[in-house]
Amino acid sequence: MGRAWGEMGTRVIHSLRARSRQDRVVAWVLRIALASVNVLTVLIAVGLLLKSMPILRTQSLGKLLLSSTWKPLQSQFGLLPFLSGTIATTVLAMLLAVPVCLLSAVYLAEYARSRVRNWIAPVIDLLAGIPSVVYGLWGVLVIVPAVRVLGKALGYSTTGYSLLAGATILGIMVAPIIISICTEVLRAVPTEARETALALGLTRWEVTRHVVLCSSRRGILAAVVLGFARAAGETMAVLMVVGNVPRVPSSLFAPAYPLPALIANNYGEMMSIPMYDSALMMAAFVLLVVVALFNLAARLALLRFARDEQ
């Protein structure tokens, strides 16, 4: 009997030792997995920067970013049309998408019955999975003519291939992700919050507005940031409807030319032009910086919210 206990004791200790070793191994695997993703980001940034060094040596950064003359044959690589195209399409897309998405999410989280929610959620996920070239085709077939009609009605001469068409397509494309994250965020607000506020004699909308939305602003901001990053980097669908004229867009109905479209349209062609390759790399780097800056701004806002709440 005593011996049996002893054996069992050794076995337990032995397996404990093995298990804690396993625990350490797993911790390292997790660390390496995380590190490799981060290292990759840094490698991409460094790679792009190195590749854009040649052009940065010959022309000043200020000139590259602020000049709107894009004439590669004359070695003029002003990125302003593309930079402004990216910012304009993305910001406009968010302006179009966020209010609608937020209201949809409020409906799904606060008002809809669970049957409706269970039916809608997969449809929204499906929307998120549609390839961007399909959105692009649909944009050419539907959005571009619609924008043309609208533009004509408002007195602009436009082909329809425009900033507004690009932003609309982008807005539609980022909607599913913003809606589903916002819905989750709103549903994560504890029931007690709603009970507390309802019991003060507030209407459902007052509860949503003053309590549920206020408590979820951090999560909502995070959803917007994800949507923004996705919109800023989206290439194919925008490229197909935005017009691709290298000029700073003068109105909603004027064509634009965002950075991703520039790179996708030109990389691999006309590479014999000196500095062309480097200019496109520079464009990619600028795109990365724009998205990073926006993320940074959002992070600062989150910190501020956290400070307000703590």
Q: How many residues bind another protein (CB under 8 A)?
A: 24
Determine, following the binding rule CB under 8 A, whether residue 106 of this chain makes contact with another protein.
no
- The least CB distance from residue 222 to another protein, in Å, is 16
Determine, following the binding rule CB under 8 A, whether residue 125 of this chain makes contact with another protein.
no
Q: How many residues does the chain have?
A: 310
For residue 100, give Cα distances in angstroms to 103, 143, 232, 285. 5, 18, 19, 32
Q: Which stretch binds another protein (CB under 8 A): 39-47, 120-128, 188-196, 275-283?
A: 188-196
- The least CB distance from residue 209 to another protein, in Å, is 10
The C-alpha atoms of residue 145 and residue 148 are separated, in whole angstroms, by 5
Question: Which of 202, 236, 275, 301 is close enough to bind another protein by CB under 8 A?
Answer: 202
- The least CB distance from residue 280 to another protein, in Å, is 46
Contacts of 70 (CB under 8 A, 6+ apart): 76, 77, 78, 79, 81, 82, 246
The C-alpha atoms of residue 298 and residue 302 are separated, in whole angstroms, by 6
Q: Which stretch binds another protein (CB under 8 A): 15-23, 63-71, 186-194, 262-270?
A: 186-194
Question: Which of 38, 62, 192, 272 is close enough to bind another protein by CB under 8 A?
Answer: 192
* Minimum CB distance to another protein smaller for 157 or for 310: 310
Question: Which DSSP string corresponds to 183-209?
Answer: HHHHHTS-HHHHHHHHTTT--HHHHII
Closest CA to 247 of 80, 14, 42: 80
Determine, following the binding rule CB under 8 A, whether residue 303 of this chain makes contact with another protein.
no
Question: In degrees, to the nearest 5, what angle opens at C-alpha 309 toward C-alphas 303 and 310?
Answer: 85
Give the x/- contact pattern for another protein in 209-238, rule: CB under 8 A: -xx--xx-----------------------
Question: Which of 38, 74, 114, 272 is close enough to bind another protein by CB under 8 A?
Answer: 114
- The least CB distance from residue 216 to another protein, in Å, is 9
* Minimum CB distance to another protein smaller for 146 or for 193: 193
Determine, following the binding rule CB under 8 A, whether residue 284 of this chain makes contact with another protein.
no
Determine, following the binding rule CB under 8 A, whether residue 68 of this chain makes contact with another protein.
no
- The least CB distance from residue 100 to another protein, in Å, is 24
Question: Which of 36, 74, 157, 310 is close enough to bind another protein by CB under 8 A?
Answer: 310
* Minimum CB distance to another protein smaller for 215 or for 295: 215
Contacts of 237 (CB under 8 A, 6+ apart): 132, 133, 135, 136, 139, 169, 170, 173
Q: With b meaning 16 or more CB within 10 Å and e meaning fewer, what string describes 39-74?
A: eeeeeeeeebbebbebbeeebeeeebeebeebebee
For residue 264, give Cα distances in angstroms to 50, 118, 119, 237, 257. 20, 38, 37, 12, 11
Phi, psi dihedral angles at 243 (to 5 degrees)? 100, -35
Determine, following the binding rule CB under 8 A, whether residue 63 of this chain makes contact with another protein.
no
* Minimum CB distance to another protein smaller for 248 or for 302: 302
Applying CB under 8 A, the residues found at the interface with another protein are: 113-114, 190-203, 206, 210-211, 214-215, 308-310
